[in-house]
Amino acid sequence: MICCIAGGVGAARFLEGLVCIAPARNLSVIVNTGDDMELYDLHISPDLDIVIYTLAGIVDDLKGWGIRGDTFHSLDMLGRYGGETWFKIGDKDLATHIYRSYILRQGFTLSEATARICRSLGVEVNVMPMSDDRVETMVNTEVGQLGFQDYLVKRGAGDKVTGVTFRGSEYAHPALGVVESLCNSDRVIVCPSNPILSIGPILAVPRVRMALRETDARILAISPIVGGAPVKGPTDKIMRGLGLEVSALAVAELYKDFLDVFIIDQIDRELRDRIEALGIEVIVTNTLMKSLRDKVQLARTALEAAQEENG
């Protein structure tokens, strides 16, 4: 069994490769919900959607989020009513948010809504939200505290970051199956996602971090920082804002209390010794996922590395 810990686009790219070489029934994915938001009374779970659409084979590959070939008529119409249109929701995507909110309003959990969406879209991987409790990623900036989507999408990640907090995380329980998955898997893979904004909220759920420290599974991560910069997104701005160096080494430091193996890009090979000095095994390979072949190759490297000790 393999348990993955995932944010959005970076993670989904990796998972696309992983499902090509590992049976879906052996895979579970714990997904960040710190980015979730309410808009038009709908519950939107961006990272869950990116992961699910990718595993269902319907993601818009160019954008990395949303549904391929989707149209935006509803959003245009909402704009005509003077509604908010900064968060781009396609017509088919809207149906997911309506359906999820409908299930939640009937008193079911986000886990249950997620399971139903996966079943309907033919996703066999066990995709789980990190928690059914609300955890909100808040970004402290020079203009004040902003919700994650306000910071990233509405304001284009343009504000200087001074800190990040995960509102509600200290009281949040892991969703049903999360701890079991971490403890009963042979391997845990932390996907290449923003370590602060995507993996951070998952690790901020106390029982999750504890399970990572306690599990017998071999834990491996793939660096989202390649050559001192993120492949996409504002990971560098966030890390710098928190006083961290933007490097694979700094990511390793964030995970060092539970990490066994770290996969870094060949361009960062000179960091090997310093990461190994943290007590973490290092694998150097190409981590840039430009094609499906790259994704499969990286997934294969991760599986082989994760397998080594367990035999």
Residue of 90, 129, 174, 192 that binds ligand GDP (CB under 6 A): 192
Q: Which residues pair with 218 in a beta bridge?
A: 187
Residue of 2, 3, 5, 13 that binds ligand GDP (CB under 6 A): 13
Tell me which residue has tokens 């038009």: 40
Task: State yes or no: residue 201 binds ligand GDP (CB under 6 A).
Answer: no
Task: State yes or no: residue 137 binds ligand GDP (CB under 6 A).
Answer: no
Task: State yes or no: residue 241 binds ligand GDP (CB under 6 A).
Answer: no
Task: State yes or no: residue 194 binds ligand GDP (CB under 6 A).
Answer: yes
Report the residue number whose CB is nearest to ligand GDP.
10
Written as one string, the DSSP assignment of 53-117 is HHHTT-B-TTTSSSBTT---HHHHHHHHTT---SS---HHHHHHHHHHHHHHHTT--HHHHHHHH
Task: State yes or no: residue 34 binds ligand GDP (CB under 6 A).
Answer: no
Residue of 3, 4, 11, 280 that binds ligand GDP (CB under 6 A): 11
Task: State yes or no: residue 305 binds ligand GDP (CB under 6 A).
Answer: no
Letter for the amino acid at 265? D
The sheet with strand 2-6 has its strands ordered as 126-129, 27-31, 2-6, 187-190, 218-222, 261-265, 281-285
Task: State yes or no: residue 232 binds ligand GDP (CB under 6 A).
Answer: yes
Specify the residue, 103 or 225, whose C-beta has the smaller distance to ligand GDP: 225
Tell me which residue has tokens 């519950």: 43
Query: Cα 95–37–63 angle (5° rounding)?
Result: 65
Distance of CA 44 to the CA centre of its chain: 15
Q: Which stretch binds ligand GDP (CB under 6 A): 79-87, 212-220, 282-290, 303-311?
A: 282-290
CB neighbours of 185 closer than 8 A, spacing ≥ 6?
Answer: 1, 2, 3, 28, 215, 217
Task: State yes or no: residue 196 binds ligand GDP (CB under 6 A).
Answer: no
Chain positions 36 to 55 lying near ligand GDP, rule: CB under 6 A, are 50
In the complex, least distance from residue 290 CB atom to ligand GDP, rounded to whole angstroms:
7
Task: State yes or no: residue 235 binds ligand GDP (CB under 6 A).
Answer: yes
Binding site for ligand GDP (CB under 6 A): 7-11, 13, 50, 192-194, 198, 222-224, 226, 230-233, 235, 287-289
